[in-house]
Chain A
Amino acid sequence: MSTGARTNWLRELIRKPYFWGVVAIFALLALNVLKDPNYLALSVNPVNGNLVGNVVDILRASAPILMIAVGMSLVIATGGIDLSVGSVMAVSGAVAMVFMKDAGQSGSLGVALGAIGLALLVSAVLGAINGVLVAYIGLQPFISTLIMMLAGRGIAKVITEGQNTSATNDPFRWIANGFVVGLPVVFLLAIVIVIIVGLVVRRSALGLMIEAIGINPKASRMAGIKPSGLLLTVYILSAVLAGIAGIMSVGTVMTVDVSRTGYQMELDAILAVVIGGTSLAGGKFSIGGAVVGALLIATLDKTIVFLGISSSATPAFKAIVIVVLCLLQSERVRSWFSQRRKPPRPTSAPTSVPPTQQKQEVTA
């Protein structure tokens, strides 16, 4: 059985839900290295000691995706969906930019904090509207967040009066463009937030409760969980994280483009969650998987630009990836694979489907 143990260990690694995500990241990086052998080269900027290179760019670009992916994975775990994250990003960016433009004082830390606080407050209100509609009124999650997705962009346009608004504020700009110990602030900030959220949901019973709602809301209520309050919290959290993502993405250029900021980001968030191996049917989530998914999307975005394909075509590639991953998650395709494995072990053939499913749940 020693050889069996080794193959089991290998199989265990392959069974990790986000294994293929990691493989895909390395494959994309390898593709870029083939085109330009120096792609992975990192250099240190002699003036300020910051790391410079394509990998650093990828990390920086992944920060907003990390935020919305983590929020989305919690929402999906409850059996819901949040289609409004992209629009909440735009609203949050619009609020911050308009606030700083009106306040002036480009060097003031107080103005930056005020802008961030107000932006996150507005995001939380939008999330609370989603949450109340889903948790207390009982609307389907996709329809309430779809309304917010389309109305949210209108709200952003009303806030900026339809104009792309720019502002100058050095502390705010530092969040998106600054460096600490050679690494981009925005990425470190994102990782810290992800770790905090991860610790809170996994070190307390909160994560289990969220998953319980996704598996069976009625049973979870009978087990003493109050689904309504928890659902509301999850939608508010998702919107606040989207608000942070909005601040990060407008901070890079210090301009909010009301029709482009956060546009189609809901696709990125869903894609990151699916790549992380979380089923869209709800009932479980993996923060680690969402992180892998977000990094993969950032790599994919940069690769497509690097290979010289029009960036407005990226949604097509992402849509194909989503379709393929959904196919891989479906019972029918899984049974095709297990049927192919059947012949060598005819004795265990009739029960071959249930054990694989169980193992999936254990690893997830």
Chain B
Amino acid sequence: MTTVQTPRVDGPVEASASSKLIARVKRVVSSNPSVLPTVAAIVIFVGMVIYGEVAYGRIVQYNTLSNLFINNAHLIILAVGMTFVILTGGIDLSVGSVIALSSVAGVMLANAGWNPWVVIVLMVLIGTVIGLASGILIQYFNVQPFIATLAMMFLGRGLAALLSTRPERLDDESPILWLGEQFKVIDGEKVNDVVITPGVIVALLVVLIAFFVLHRTRTGRTVYAIGGSESSSALMGLAVPRTKVLVYVISGTLSGIAAVVYTSRLGIAQNITGIGWELDAIAATVIGGTLLTGGYGYVLGSVVGALVLGLMNVLITRDGGIPPEMTTIITGGILLVFVLLQRAVTSKRHT
């Protein structure tokens, strides 16, 4: 974990300090090659910030960085959930359509006059139920994870389409929108303020709790153990079946929370919301250094991965010369590069 906490310096640094840092990173990487992708993600993030600042300007300043968090709060939450699942060696392809179903259902209920708290709880519960369904299919009926969650992906999308195929707009007075309201923390000059929304706070809380669960609790150790070797962990007497269902429930629940955060920011829900977000969440997790085969990875790395993707979108918008259609190709390309990098690292460890 030491590498994740390395200061993200992008200004002039004293030569001795930077060489000491490089030496330390080198030592950590050589003792544990699986952190290499996480280090690479941090380097890429810092590199993108520097490049963006030099090429387009106005990147390293309060409002750009706060907007990065505000606009990607939902992706951070999704990436945290995906980290749990991928750590066990599974995959969850249903996250995007859970958001579609949950947000369409939530907005329609809220507009029908339901209590906003009940609506929010229901939105999260929709995710929990779908996650529970995929978990049970995978653990107790031996369905492969990507098939079970692919089925849930289409189920969620289809149910959302049954509810409504038009964009549903949340009432302007709805209290749910408070979660997306922006609060000034530091009042900078002109619009250059540090801004935060309750949604970002939710995302940060999710990250902290996930970090605590993964690294400080028995459940967290079991998650890592299952990814290392499922049969060994079962022989060791760990609660493998319960934990395997739990990771999908966590992922589903966090998708529900992400739906609340996203809907409160936009105020609109539609049945085509979130197409391709499973790729973003997987990419964020993989860029952050979690092995797709499970067992190795860091939840804070996934946060860096989500920010890399978010910053990439900012840079593409700033550049203006890259057609928006290229975004998925670039995301796919980055994911591919990182998967190949993982492949190289793991095969080196095995030989």
Binding site for B on A (CB under 8 A): 81, 83, 133, 137-140, 142-144, 146-148, 150-151, 153-155, 157-158, 161-162, 264, 267, 270, 280-281, 310, 312-320, 322-323, 326-327, 330-333
- Bound together, the chains give a CA A144 to CA B140 distance in angstroms of 27
Asked if A150 and B328 make an inter-chain contact with CB atoms under 8 angstroms apart, the answer reads yes
Q: Given A140-B292, A322-B151, is A158 in contact with B326 using a C-beta cutoff of 8 Å?
A: yes
B152 contacts the other chain (Cβ, under 8 Å)? yes
Residues of A within 8 A of B148 (CB): 323, 326
Q: Given A315-B158, A319-B154, A322-B147, is A151 in contact with B141 using a C-beta cutoff of 8 Å?
A: no
Nearest residue, chain A, Cβ from B159: A316
B162 contacts the other chain (Cβ, under 8 Å)? yes
- Bound together, the chains give a CA A198 to CA B165 distance in angstroms of 41
Cβ of A154 to closest chain B Cβ, rounded Å: 4
Binding site for A on B (CB under 8 A): 91, 93, 137, 140-144, 146-148, 150-155, 157-159, 161-162, 165, 271, 276, 279, 282, 292-293, 323-329, 331-333, 335-336, 339-340, 343, 347
- Given A280-B147, A319-B151, 17 other A-B contacts at CB below 8 A? A133-B336, A143-B91, A144-B339, A147-B336, A151-B331, A154-B329, A158-B326, A158-B329, A267-B150, A280-B143, A310-B162, A316-B154, A316-B155, A322-B150, A323-B137, A327-B143, A333-B141
Residues of B within 8 A of A147 (CB): 279, 332, 335-336, 339
Residues of A within 8 A of B335 (CB): 147
Residues of B within 8 A of A81 (CB): 146
Residues of B within 8 A of A318 (CB): 154, 158
Contact among A137, A158, A319, A332 for B155, CB-based, below 8 A: A319
Query: Is chain A's interface secondary structure helix, strand, loop, or mixed overall?
Result: helix
Cβ of B156 to closest chain A Cβ, rounded Å: 8
- Bound together, the chains give a CA A24 to CA B190 distance in angstroms of 66
Query: Is chain B's interface secondary structure helix, strand, loop, or mixed overall?
Result: helix
Cβ of A228 to closest chain B Cβ, rounded Å: 15
Q: Given A158-B323, A316-B161, A323-B137, is A139 in contact with B339 using a C-beta cutoff of 8 Å?
A: yes
- Bound together, the chains give a CA A364 to CA B144 distance in angstroms of 21
Q: List 12 A-B contacts (CB under 8 A).
A: A81-B146, A140-B293, A142-B91, A148-B332, A154-B328, A155-B329, A157-B325, A158-B325, A316-B157, A316-B162, A317-B158, A320-B155
- Bound together, the chains give a CA A138 to CA B340 distance in angstroms of 9
Residues of B within 8 A of A333 (CB): 141
Residues of A within 8 A of B329 (CB): 151, 154-155, 158
Residues of B within 8 A of A83 (CB): 150
Asked if B162 and A137 make an inter-chain contact with CB atoms under 8 angstroms apart, the answer reads no
Nearest residue, chain B, Cβ from A142: B146
Cβ of B59 to closest chain A Cβ, rounded Å: 25
Cβ of B255 to closest chain A Cβ, rounded Å: 16
Asked if A138 and B343 make an inter-chain contact with CB atoms under 8 angstroms apart, the answer reads yes
Contact among B137, B141, B271, B328 for A312, CB-based, below 8 A: B271
Residues of B within 8 A of A270 (CB): 147, 150
Interface centre among B137, B271, B328, B335 (most CB of A within 10 A): B328
Nearest residue, chain A, Cβ from B327: A154
- Bound together, the chains give a CA A315 to CA B328 distance in angstroms of 23
